[in-house]
Chains A and B, each alone.
Chain A
């Protein structure tokens, strides 16, 4: 028994030793590949200092932010932008309780939320534009399905339940829709994409507006709930005859079928970079200052009455970065981090926009870039302007 004890002790010790070695090895490898290089172009105060900035929020722009962060980090190895897509609702919440450095949301702050920011101002920085599209999974029908606004509203309210419903069939003469139940998929979390989608449905269906409404989180009459754009797209891909709504990038990256939607001019517009751009150009929303209340800003609202914008995709929206004007309200913030954050934002609305088109996001029009520049320049730390130019 003594020898057995000794043997098992040896086994335990060697196992623990191996684990410890593995830990040290991985840690060492990681730190060696991530050590700040001396050949970057940062100013002396940020050289050799690893800065991690934390953001959270919308899943809508996540593919673009993910790409931007990775490219920015490649060019500036000491700066890591750690963005978690938890939904616009989550982003706004974490922004309000100041547990993140910046948030992203497709829904602007509501009147109540805007009023709740005290001590400093909240800044909205529109940094990209995208479209929310109906995504579906129909075996043998890869594309070409068309929807109108009222029909979409009825489907999501549970009034239209089958793919071959007469109303759907009527506007899809060239497609044979199957005699199957529509599996509706929506968001289970607080979502700016939902805000955009329900904004559109509220405009086209008085019934929807009255009973369900426009918000980041609504009482869905029917359907399965998915977490984030990722969750909805995931459920749609896994379930034949499903119908959900997603930001366009999720459909294209994952090769999910998406439908065309009828706009105010009566045309069935297929989502694309061009139709989103047409939407932005046709919407004549004059944007407020960065530190103002943005709750009325909506490309969808301005399009809903524009009967002459023939190529505009009706469910197009800004996505915003939310940030505080005076950054010292954030715990753990210092001048170096503030600079890093502001530089990233400046880059994002300039060079970063180059990464938008390949991912089917619309680059910002120059008028919006000019507005954003002014907003970014107004960011301060301890009263001092952060941006150095």
Chain B
């Protein structure tokens, strides 16, 4: 009786554990499907012209997405310029003064903001900037991206700095260094690899965002023409090209996706190899 019962339990266990493994495998399928689709379809399209030329008129073949690559880099660089200082300093505050109630509240809402609908952030940037200056602007897009980046940078900076052993802080104070200098000169540099991780994660996230740019940076078929003017970006091109009927554009959508994915993959791999999974590589 007991042996058949334990047989049953064993069988049940094997089936259920097997199902878990199946779940893991099923999870992998879309990932590989996406990566393979991107590499195969995108690879067909990419050549030097694709990377260095402007798009041609619809219906014509040839041309490229050079301005979209440039646009994404500019938007992300500008957004980082705003978000990195703010996020890093905020993260330092949350880590070093973590016992204050203000810190608790900020940390809580910063977490909430990390996975917030980016379209709503886009609406905010539209009403505050685009309507105000009455033009779609690269600057507005950068601000929207910065708002998306700040919570990520804050959180990862906080966790990286917090992991710095207290001994360093105590040593600094013991040597007579002021608290703020201890933090800035000793503690933060000690946590720099975690901070850089956060920077790369937020950059990867910002590079792929589309929804906020729909309402702010708009789009352009030309190169950068000023911070207060519309600008192209890879994510917008992927969106516009993929829902279009022009076969040439649809092919280019895959190419743009490939370039974007390569950027993001590069950042993710560097992050992973640097941190060896020590820091949470996701928020």
Contact = CB atoms under 8 A, between A and B. Distances in A.
A adjacent to B, CB under 8 Å? yes
Interface of A: 5, 8-9, 11-12, 15, 23, 26-27, 29-31, 33-34, 50, 52, 54, 56, 62-63, 66-67, 69-71, 80, 82-84, 97-99, 226-231, 233-234, 236-237, 249-250, 253-254, 256, 330-332, 359
Contacts of B221: 66, 69, 82-83
A27 to B, nearest CB: 6
Contact of B270 (A12, A83, A229, A254): A12
A273 to B, nearest CB: 16
B134 A52 contact: no
Contact of B133 (A11, A62, A331): A331
B254 interface: no
Given A15-B266, A30-B223, A80-B222, A9 B193 contact: yes
B125 interface: no
B133 A230 contact: no
Given A30-B66, A63-B58, 9 more contacts: A12-B270, A33-B52, A50-B225, A52-B225, A82-B225, A227-B243, A249-B59, A253-B245, A254-B245
A332 B193 contact: no
B59 A12 contact: no
A15 B270 contact: yes
Contacts of B130: 99
A26 B66 contact: yes
Interface residues of B, number: 44
Given A84-B218, A332-B228, A69 B244 contact: no
B260 to A, nearest CB: 14
A254 B220 contact: no
B270 A11 contact: yes
7 contacts: A11-B270, A12-B193, A97-B131, A98-B134, A99-B136, A234-B243, A234-B244
Contacts, number: 119
Nearest to B242: A234
A82 B243 contact: no
Interface string B28-72: 000000000000000000000001100011110000001101100
Given A54-B229, A67-B57, A98-B134, A26 B69 contact: yes
B18 interface: no
Contacts of B86: none
Contacts of A332: 135, 228
B2 interface: no
B219 interface: yes
B202 to A, nearest CB: 14
B77 interface: yes
Contacts of A15: 266, 270
B270 A54 contact: no
B67 A63 contact: no
Chain A CB count within 10 A is highest, among B135, B229, B270, B273, for B135
Nearest to B249: A230
Interface string B235-263: 00000100111110010000000000000
A33 B223 CA distance: 11
Interface in B114-148: 130-131, 133-136
A231 B243 contact: yes
A78 to B, nearest CB: 11
Contacts of A330: 134
B243 A253 contact: no
Nearest to A68: B57
B220 to A, nearest CB: 5
Contact of A254 (B228, B247, B266): B247
Interface in B202-238: 218-226, 228-230
Contacts of A56: 218
Given A26-B70, A30-B70, A237 B245 contact: yes
A80 B229 CA distance: 12
B57 A66 contact: yes
Contact of B134 (A70, A71, A99, A230): A99
